[in-house]
C-alpha cells in the first residue's frame, strides 16, 4: 500500500522538517489552486509525470506553476528520448497517487532510480516555502526548499536542479 498523507507528515517530522499543512477542497488544476489559496506565502508548483522509452526511467518534472513547459524541449534538454504523459495506472503503480495529487513527496512510494526527478532550480534555492500536495489534493504542505531537498535525498531521489526558464516553451506534446 502507498504511504498515507499522515505517515508522510510524520516522516517529515521525524526528520526534523518543519511543515505547515493546510486542508482545502480537492484541487485538480493550477487555476483551481490560485482561486482557493488566498494569500498563503511561498512558491506553488505544477508537476508532470512522464513516461520515457527504455532504458530511461519515468520522469517527474516539478516547475513553478506559471512556467510554460514543452515536453519535447524537456526531452531534448535532458537527453531523455521520447517522452509522453504517463497514464493514470502508471502514476498509481509508480508513485501511489491519483491525477491531481502528483507531488515530489510521492517519491516516498518509488524505489530509488525508478523515477528521475527534475526540479526547477528556483524551487530548491528560493527564500520562501515550497507548497506541495502531501499525497492528496485536499491539502497543501509548505516546506523550506532546503528541507525539501534533504527529504528527497533521504528517499534516494536527489533532485536534478535545472533552470527550466531556459527550456524553450513550444506547446506541450
**How confident is the model over 24-52, as pLDDT tens digits?**
888 877 787 877 777 788 999 999 999 99
134 pLDDT band, cuts 50/70/90, is very high
* pLDDT confidence tier of residue 79, bands split at 50, 70 and 90: confident
Pick the CATH number of 5-166 from 2.102.10.10, 3.40.190.10, 3.40.50.300, 3.90.960.10: 3.90.960.10
What cell does 17 get? 522538517
- What backbone torsions phi and psi does residue 32 show, to the nearest 5 degrees? -65, -40
Render pLDDT for 138-157 as a digit per residue (tens, 0 to 9).
999 999 999 999 999 999 99
Question: How much is the CA Rg of the chain, to the nearest whole Å?
Answer: 15
Q: Are 66 and 72 in contact (CB under 8 A)?
A: no
Helices (H), 16-158: 30-37, 71-78, 88-95, 121-125, 145-154
Amino acid at each position: 500500500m502507498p504511504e498515507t498523507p499522515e505517515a508522510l507528515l510524520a516522516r517529515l517530522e521525524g526528520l526534523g522538517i518543519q511543515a505547515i499543512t493546510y486542508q482545502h477542497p480537492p484541487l485538480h488544476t493550477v487555476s483551481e489552486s490560485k482561486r482557493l489559496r488566498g494569500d498563503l506565502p511561498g512558491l506553488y508548483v505544477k508537476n508532470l509525470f512522464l513516461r520515457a522509452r527504455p532504458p530511461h526511467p519515468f520522469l517527474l518534472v516539478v516547475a513553478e506553476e506559471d512556467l510554460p513547459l514543452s515536453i519535447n524541449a524537456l526531452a531534448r534538454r535532458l537527453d531523455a528520448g521520447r517522452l509522453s504523459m504517463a497514464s493514470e495506472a502508471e502514476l498509481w503503480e509508480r508513485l501511489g497517487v491519483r491525477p491531481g495529487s502528483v507531488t515530489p513527496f510521492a517519491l516516498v512510494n518509488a524505489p530509488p532510480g525508478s523515477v528521475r526527478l527534475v526540479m526547477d532550480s528556483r524551487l530548491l534555492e528560493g527564500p520562501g516555502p515550497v507548497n506541495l500536495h502531501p499525497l492528496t489534493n485536499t491539502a497543501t504542505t509548505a516546506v523550506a526548499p532546503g528541507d525539501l531537498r534533504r527529504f528527497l535525498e533521504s528517499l534516494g531521489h536527489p533532485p536534478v536542479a535545472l533552470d527550466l526558464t531556459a527550456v524553450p516553451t513550444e506547446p506541450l506534446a
